Structure 1
């Protein structure tokens, strides 16, 4: 895996030791997933297609020639969305060959496919969203107004609304059967099930603090465990960052037990057992047992999970050796701090512009 850097407004890549693998020549880059990364060059001489995109691998090799494309995505389960000149979208494999022919809409009400998970993907048609398998075959005849990724066997959907209808979001399985749940509300930003659990808004009791209303259901639709929170990151790696008002942030496991006591001002997402945390306005690193790996010393540390696609920060969550950190520059007021790459022990690896 490589990590983007900038020089003279051009992007290149370094490896986990800080060595330059791809010289800065691109105008825009994405993040690596499944040994592939989207890169872009501007074609100022082409008035019709001024953006040329391609995928490179972790050796910096361009897998297919640069070509006009505005709607390509990161790879997930070996496939990536790719637009062709006629405005239709299909899915290519990691060598750039179409495995599902271009036949889907570029967007539907401003959205595009979120990629494959659990072997299926939501795709946009003229009449709404549906789901296909990795051969491009529809698995359901139903069309939806909202269709999220399948995770743990279920996807969050919403049917088309009739006049004065207020149908809410609900879960379906791959046969289109609705999951019956305890009384609860599902937020539009909900990321669905992960590690067998999904956060929901539970009914409030009179004696409860209004802000503590987030609970969890399991894939049977039942309450997973007692306890309500004011904030939840959703589960990943068997862990969930939560906060009860007016307490600080801590981490629970899938049984609802504290594995890291609520002692911190903020905790970032975990990536293979490592997460950033904030204490006394400074950031450090801790592991999944709550042991401090790096005492707080940076003005900010990002999570190791890399680029965050909409509604699904753990999509293509691969092991990452580097993340970005910011060194405060107190002498220069109102000036951003210097960004560097640090490794999983907190050591600075590269001070390239990021």
Structure 2
């Protein structure tokens, strides 16, 4: 019986930790709701931040502390400035000094740095004499300080610059793409775009294949095709650099759910991977489809269409910032979209119903 109770409590704790909550503002106070619109933590805070890594910063009497998803204070307010937890560690300011703390609020000893950086994929950067390296959560230096710039890691890889040239490194500090390019894109499934002198092309391993006449290439974003510009027009190339859809569009965005938004004659529509229009260009703007198979389109305000082009949610909204998937997509994520109407923010479901039947003075994205 005792074991069953322990397992039940553990299961409840895991569910609570996994639950995504959104920070919302009611007049002058802030609280947190779940995806049904129910308050999990009632609005009692004058200032607060979104959840990150299971904790959220809240301000009480000019000092910041951290709460858990049950609303209980886990780290007492004692900080004058805070960032967010990542990999169990947060950068905070106390008594005029910046430092790292763990989830118990304990100060951590880390390598010295001219600036403190947030953790990202298990590493934090450090700067010595304007050179960048990285250390892990135990404070062990993994990448020595030899780079001018290191961009945030994504899926274990990061763009880095040394001696005015760009390359790709992994989280072990190993060089994946040599430092011989003037610009580079994100590394995705073993490939990235690159610029060398005035030529643009694709890097597959250590091989650079120039795509003639191209003057801009966008990231693949884990898709088999990406878009590129040639002679002022945009088309789509595959990972060998072959034009699959010839340059003909004024603007474009990434493929998602096998459809890509493109602009032709100042109107947006959607094409399939063969370049044929599935949804004719008739909108003032359009964003990529989410996994909910809905995409935001703009006419008189923003609404949402399905992958046949049918308007599912009528226009009249402003739409939110990125939910963090695809190409910084604006719109739905796991059945919920953040929208603004009449000067207030709220969340709608895939049928256009207002979740919780309530609008807020402000509402942030759902975070874990």
Structure 2 length-normalised TM: 0.65
Task: Give the CA deviation at 1:27.
Answer: 5.4
Structure 1 regions of 5+ residues with no counterpart?
A: 160-165, 205-212, 329-336
Higher RCO, Cα 8 Å, sep 6+? 2
Q: Is the 8 A contact 2:30 2:47 kept in 1?
A: yes
- Quote the RMSD (CA, aligned, Å): 4.4
More helix by share: 2
The aligned residue for residue 76 of structure 2 is: none
Q: Distance in 1 between matches of 2:28 and 2:116?
A: 21
Residues 234/53 of structure 1: CA separation in 2 closer, same or farther (3 Å cut): closer
More strand by share: 2
> What is the aligned counterpart of 2:340 among 312, 322, 326?
326
Q: Distance in 2 between matches of 1:103 and 1:28?
A: 34
- 1:224-250 alpha-carbon deviations (Å, 9 max, x no partner): 12451111112223221011114x211
The aligned residue for residue 198 of structure 2 is: 167
The aligned residue for residue 230 of structure 1 is: 250
Residues 140/278 of structure 1: CA separation in 2 closer, same or farther (3 Å cut): closer
The aligned residue for residue 277 of structure 1 is: 297
> What is the aligned counterpart of 1:342 among 335, 345, 348?
348
Structure 1 length-normalised TM: 0.68
Q: Distance in 1 between matches of 2:190 and 2:336?
A: 32
> What is the aligned counterpart of 1:180 among 199, 203, 210?
210
Q: Distance in 1 between matches of 2:144 and 2:288?
A: 33
Q: Distance in 2 between matches of 1:306 and 1:107?
A: 31
Q: Which structure: larger Rg?
A: 2
Are 2:103 and 1:64 equivalent residues in the alignment? Answer: yes
Are 2:260 and 1:240 equivalent residues in the alignment? Answer: yes
Residues 53/338 of structure 1: CA separation in 2 closer, same or farther (3 Å cut): closer
Residues 250/144 of structure 1: CA separation in 2 closer, same or farther (3 Å cut): same
Structure 2 regions of 5+ residues with no counterpart?
A: 1-19, 65-78, 89-100, 109-114, 364-368
Q: Distance in 2 between matches of 1:6 and 1:104?
A: 43
Are 2:153 and 1:147 equivalent residues in the alignment? Answer: no
Residues 14-29 of structure 1 mapped to structure 2, 5 A cutoff: 14-22=33-41, 29=49
The aligned residue for residue 132 of structure 1 is: 169
